Amino acid sequence: MAEEQGGWLFDSLVSIPVAAQSEGRQVYEVLLRMLERWNAHDIEGHLEVYWKSPQLLVVADSEQFNGWQQLHDSYFNGYPNRDSMGCIVPARIQVKLLKPDFALALTWWSISFPHSKQKVVGNTTMNLQKFGEDWKIVAAHSSTTDL
């Protein structure tokens, strides 16, 4: 059945039979937890989804972060006032299993900010790897635009 959806095991906009989405659903739930932690302004919780390794690669627009520690430091320095993180709302999340322990996820989302009419919309492509029972983001690229 997942093949009928272009190989996507999980798509938040499409109903896929439960049997076809177990691993995809796990990845989806990891991503939802990451967004939930962002909205709680919990940077540490948000970062738990990322591979805690110097080999982690995250690119946000034209800024590149090499390793978990650099990403961590950027978030903590960039948001000294946690309320300025805003609220992120996912518009769509798709998950495709490339190997039994490796997945591709695509997300479309928007962030609104308190006390501001500013809104940022974006999309993120992520590679996730399964370590034991846990899915971790090992590489990600986000593109954004202000509205």
| pLDDT at 45 exceeding the cut of 70 | yes
- Reading the block at residue 75, the tokens are 């978030």
Query: Does the structural domain 2-146 have CATH classification 1.10.3470.10?
Result: no
| pLDDT at 60 exceeding the cut of 80 | yes
Contacts of 141 (CB under 8 A, 6+ apart): 58, 59, 60, 124, 125, 126
pLDDT of res. 64: 97
The reported pTM is 0.86
Looking at the chain, the whole-number percentage of residues with pLDDT higher than 70 is 88
Please, what is the average pLDDT of the chain? 88
- Reading the block at residue 33, the tokens are 């937890």
Distance CA 71, CA 65 (A): 6
User: In the chain, helix, strand, coil percent, each to 5?
Assistant: 30, 40, 25
CA distances from 136 to 13, 14, 27, 43 (A): 23, 24, 9, 16
Domain boundaries, the chain: 2-146
Q: Name the more confident of 137 and 3.
A: 137
pLDDT of res. 83: 82
Q: What is the largest CA-CA distance in the chain?
A: 46
Confidence of residue 42 (pLDDT cuts 50, 70, 90): very high
Confidence of residue 114 (pLDDT cuts 50, 70, 90): confident
- pLDDT tens digits, one per residue of 92-113: 999 999 999 999 999 999 999 8
| pLDDT at 17 exceeding the cut of 70 | no
Looking at the chain, the whole-number percentage of residues with pLDDT higher than 90 is 72
Confidence of residue 3 (pLDDT cuts 50, 70, 90): very low
